[in-house]
């Protein structure tokens, strides 16, 4: 036997023992490895949100990639959750819509309080046995706040009113930061230019952009709806006391 074979043989035996141990543990109900947010579906998109001069613009591309194949070019990855609240996602579509539904429930519990709703969703997402298996990351925004919410319990509010997620997110954010101070460019102009740069750079991002916008007028309407909801709740509580 050659020296090289004598050297590698113990290493191969050690690897084989480790694989056998893992197989036995799995058969006997050993703890399964936690799902981590590393799938290609989680990375293969670009979502960008920009706030400037009272306008909030959320823009995403429409490409869905499965491995090395583009399976659909026009998926809608952003939506209006409530009046004055918009959201976008990167990751598994079904998981993202489940989380949007949970966020709507939290907003109904806390009308007009996106920050509290986002924190409550992140807590549930991290602690709930079912929700923690969902593979997605979200961007949600109202007229005053923009948050990135992840399954790790993170609720991140960006500095400067710019946030991006997905494989092309860093490219889009870098471009948006370079454009944000240019006079005459609106939030929509910045998003469009930055997303175009991301689409030209990232192979998982195309040029079929879908946009949701919050204007100052939308924010006032949302505040009015929230105030009306609070008044209704207060009246119902008074009736119950009587």
Determine whether 45 is an active site residue: yes
Distance CA 234, CA 115 (A): 22
Q: Which of 1, 8, 36, 45 is catalytic?
A: 45
Which two tokens mark 80? 């209006």
With both helix axes pointing from N to C terminus, report the angle between 93-109 and 114-127 in degrees, rounded to the nearest 10: 130
Q: Mind telling me the catalytic residues?
A: 45
């Amino acid at each position: 036997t050659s020296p090289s074979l004598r050297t590698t043989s113990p290493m191969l035996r050690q690897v084989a023992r480790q694989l056998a141990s893992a197989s036995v543990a799995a058969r006997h109900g050993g703890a399964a490895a936690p799902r981590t947010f590393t799938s290609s579906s989680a990375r293969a998109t670009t979502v960008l949100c920009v706030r400037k001069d009272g306008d909030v613009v959320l823009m995403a591309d429409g490409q869905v990639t499965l491995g090395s194949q583009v399976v659909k070019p026009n998926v809608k990855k952003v939506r209006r959750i409530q009046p004055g609240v918009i959201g976008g996602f990167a990751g598994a579509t079904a998981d993202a819509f489940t989380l949007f539904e949970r966020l709507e429930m939290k907003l109904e519990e806390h009308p007009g309080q996106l920050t509290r709703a986002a924190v409550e969703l992140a807590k549930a997402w991290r602690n709930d046995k079912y929700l923690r298996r969902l593979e997605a990351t979200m961007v949600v925004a109202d007229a005053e706040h923009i948050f990135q919410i992840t399954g790790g319990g993170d609720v991140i509010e960006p500095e400067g009113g710019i946030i991006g997620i997905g494989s092309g997110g860093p490219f889009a954010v870098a471009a948006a930061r370079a454009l944000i101070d240019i006079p005459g460019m609106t939030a929509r102009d910045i998003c469009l230019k930055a997303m175009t740069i991301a689409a030209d750079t990232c192979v998982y991002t195309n040029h079929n952009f879908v946009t949701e916008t919050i204007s100052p007028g939308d924010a006032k309407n949302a505040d009015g709806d929230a105030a009306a909801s609070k008044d209704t709740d207060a009246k119902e509580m008074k009736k119950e006391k009587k």
